[in-house]
Amino acid sequence: MDDGKTFYVVERYINNDLFYWSSGARGKCSRDDWVPKIDDAVKFFDDSSAIKALIYACAGEGRIASHRLAVPTGERA
Task: Please give the model's pTM, rounded to 2 decimal places.
Answer: 0.76
Q: Where are the domains of the chain?
A: 6-68
Higher pLDDT, 77 or 74: 74
Element housing 34 (H / E): strand 34-35
Q: What percent of the chain has pLDDT over 70?
A: 75
Least confident of 27-31, 51-55, 58-62: 27-31
Residue 2: exposed, middle, or buried by beta-carbon count in 10 A (0-12, 13-18, 19+)? exposed
Question: Which comes out higher in pLDDT, residue 15 or 71?
Answer: 15
Identify the DSSP state of 38.
G
CB 42 within 8 A of CB 53: yes
How far is it, in rounded angstroms, from Cα 42 to Cα 6? Answer: 13
pLDDT value at 76 more than 60: no
**pLDDT confidence of residue 1:** 46
